[in-house]
Amino acid sequence: MCGILAVLGCSDDSQAKRVRVLELSRRLRHRGPDWSGIYQNGDNYLAHQRLAIVDPDSGDQPLFNEDKTIVVTVNGEIYNHEELRKRLKNHKFHTGSDCEVIAHLYEEHGEEFVDMLDGVFSFVLLNTKDNSFMVARDAIGVTPLYIGWGLDGSVWVSSEMKGLNEDCEHFESFPPGNLYSSKSGGFKQWYNPPWYNEVVPSTPYEPLALRRAFEDAVVKRLMSDVPFGVLLSGGLDSSLVAAITARHLEETKASKLHSFCVGLEGSPDLKAGKEVAEYLGTEHHEFHFTVQDGIDAIEDVIFHVETYDVTTIRASTPMFLMSRKIKSLGVKMVLSGEGSDEIFGGYLYFHKAPNKQELHQETCRKIKALHKYDCLRANKATSAFGLEARVPFLDKEFINTAMSLDPESKMIKPEEKRIEKWVLRKAFDDDERPYLPKHILYRQKEQFSDGVGYSWIDGLKAHAAENVNDRMMSNAAHIFPHNTPLTKEAYYYRMIFERFFPQNSARLTVPGGATVACSTAKAVEWDASWSNNMDPSGRAAIGVHVSAYDGSKVALPVQPLKAINDLPMMRGQGVVIQT
């Protein structure tokens, strides 16, 4: 992933302003350490920090049309760029970059071309002929993007909040599946698939059709001119991504696949990841971290991921640590399994979905919110070290296929041996040529923050209890009236976030509301007992997770807790009491 920054229509075209734009663009250099570029036309500035994945030799940005009147700065990948180039026979291309098609498509179709792009992207396009511009973000929000407005009437666009938060009077997260046009002065939703209105679909479940759709989504994301690998936790989603990738590389006689896993010593993910890697024959790399390693990284994680959401920070930290190790091995791109749980109702709280309509509507809500949670985590935690994460489950065509299924097929029915994500498991249950061992294919869902080791979350809670006292909590609503933290862990993260991003606009970019095991606030209503155990961990799904928290007990610290890695932290407990 790259980093983009644009300042459009500002009242200052001086050298000092250019220097300021360059300074702000450098704050995004971790996203694109390979090259920097800036373009200025009057009072418009387009800057770019490049991570070179496709055409590393000639694809530096900004990119142009033939006469350089159309200028574009892009973060993302366009997987169907070769097909689009064939349609643009009358155009001359200057680079092999997959993103150059954007400038030429605009020449042909104006602002109506965005839905033609098959990929993930955030871009700013400037038409120097009439000084107009447009901004667009991909369908689900896999790539991060923020938009802000200056007092001088300028419009600011940045891949990360830190590129514009100090210079804008107001800024916000750019809505996924939308474009912003200077001609209309507002947003327009370009992505509006049938599932978006949450009407219950009725397409019968066809296992092979679902399998083919996902295989296509994975294979198209292997477009790369640099070394790549897969993140492999040993759960269903990452294992399927790895299995399809390994099979494709074997069939095409390509190089051996590298796989990567992170966890505390003895964690569920390390064990399962190693087993899957041995089955698939990947070159496997295990990275171990301690609870203290994670705690030491929390401030860096919050600075890079730009959130105070508890579950996002819990999961981002091991991913952040692993990304640094992966990049040190010379790998620049990895495939990851985000999005499956939202599409198929894979979180454990979906066991309590009362009917197929409620299940379908909850999956719709979850997908629409992904840009605030897992997409944000997967992108920014890896981009902190110039590593790109690609997420095949969030392929636009695959989502359309999966979300058109009659949601009755996604309902969890233990009496019929249908566990969470049964439709996906069944699609890849092939006895003749197995993708995965049966026990991996039907392994219970583990959220990433749980799977790296249960004591990770327990240790975070203990550390927060050392740093946030009861008096601080009693005044939380006065100090943080918006999204008031309800736990000491949430308060601790919020203090760090506010130090980096003190603006009111910044705190408004982070979602809030009641949640259990990563549910939306609406789904909390499915089970009355959940209101007494509001925690985003999968273990909060009492009566579902095999290591669920004890719903009848709440562990209260009797003295400050220490997050020491060698303390015996018992599986299934919310915190550890040091006596």
The pLDDT mean for the chain works out to: 90
pLDDT of residue 562: 34
Within this chain, do residues 271 and 245 fall inside the same structural domain, yes or no? yes
Evaluate whether residue 263 is within a structural domain: yes
What CATH number is associated with residue 365? Answer: 3.40.50.620
Residue ending a domain, among 160, 192, 224, is 192
Q: Which residues are annotated as a binding site for L-glutamine?
A: 98
pLDDT of residue 572: 28
Within this chain, do residues 186 and 220 fall inside the same structural domain, yes or no? no
Evaluate whether residue 62 is within a structural domain: yes
Q: Please report how many Cα atoms fall inside a 13 Å half-sphere around the Cα of residue 304, on the Cβ side.
A: 26
Report which of 144, 52, 46, 142 is spatially closest to residue 99, judged by C-alpha positions.
52
Query: Considering its fold, how many domains does the chain have in total?
Result: 2
Report which of 265, 264, 266 is spatially closest to residue 295, judged by C-alpha positions.
264
Torsion of CA 41, 46, 51, 54, to 10 degrees: -60
Q: Which residues are annotated as a binding site for ATP?
A: 231, 262, 336-337
DSSP state letter for 257: P
Range(s) of the domain holding residue 162:
3-192
2 as an active site residue: the answer is yes
What is the Cα–Cα distance from 484 to 268, expressed in whole angstroms?
Answer: 33
Catalytic one among 2, 99, 261, 364? Answer: 2
Evaluate whether residue 552 is within a structural domain: no
Within this chain, do residues 213 and 176 fall inside the same structural domain, yes or no? no
Within this chain, do residues 184 and 267 fall inside the same structural domain, yes or no? no
Burial 451-478 (b: 16+ CB within 10 A, else e): bbbbbbbbbbbbbbbeebeeeebeebee
In order along its 579 residues, the chain shows pLDDT tens digits of 799 999 999 988 889 999 999 999 999 999 999 889 999 999 999 999 988 888 777 668 899 999 999 999 999 999 999 999 999 999 999 888 999 999 999 999 999 999 999 999 999 999 999 999 999 999 999 999 999 999 999 999 999 999 999 999 999 999 999 999 999 989 999 999 999 999 999 999 999 999 999 999 999 999 998 889 999 999 999 999 999 999 999 998 778 899 999 999 988 889 999 999 999 999 999 999 999 999 999 999 999 999 999 999 999 999 999 999 999 999 999 999 999 999 999 998 999 999 999 999 999 999 999 999 999 999 999 999 999 999 999 999 999 999 999 999 999 999 999 999 999 999 999 999 999 999 899 887 665 555 676 789 999 999 999 999 999 999 999 999 999 999 999 999 999 999 999 999 999 999 998 777 788 888 888 988 887 766 655 555 555 655 555 543 333 333 333 333 332 222 222 222 222
Torsion of CA 99, 105, 110, 115, to 10 degrees: -70
What is the Cα–Cα distance from 508 to 78, expressed in whole angstroms?
Answer: 31
Q: Which residues are annotated as a binding site?
A: 98, 231, 262, 336-337
pLDDT of residue 453: 63
Within this chain, do residues 182 and 225 fall inside the same structural domain, yes or no? no
Within this chain, do residues 424 and 359 fall inside the same structural domain, yes or no? yes
Within this chain, do residues 217 and 166 fall inside the same structural domain, yes or no? no
Within this chain, do residues 106 and 207 fall inside the same structural domain, yes or no? no
pTM: 0.91
pLDDT of residue 57: 74
Within this chain, do residues 270 and 153 fall inside the same structural domain, yes or no? no
Within this chain, do residues 226 and 177 fall inside the same structural domain, yes or no? no
What is the Cα–Cα distance from 337 to 61, expressed in whole angstroms?
Answer: 29
3-state secondary structure (DSSP) of residue 151: coil
DSSP 411-444: S-BGGGTB-TTHHHHHHT--SSS-SS-HHHHTPP
pLDDT of residue 535: 63
Contact present, 11 and 168 (Cβ < 8 Å): no
What CATH number is associated with residue 32? Answer: 3.60.20.10
Evaluate whether residue 566 is within a structural domain: no
Residue ending a domain, among 142, 164, 192, is 192
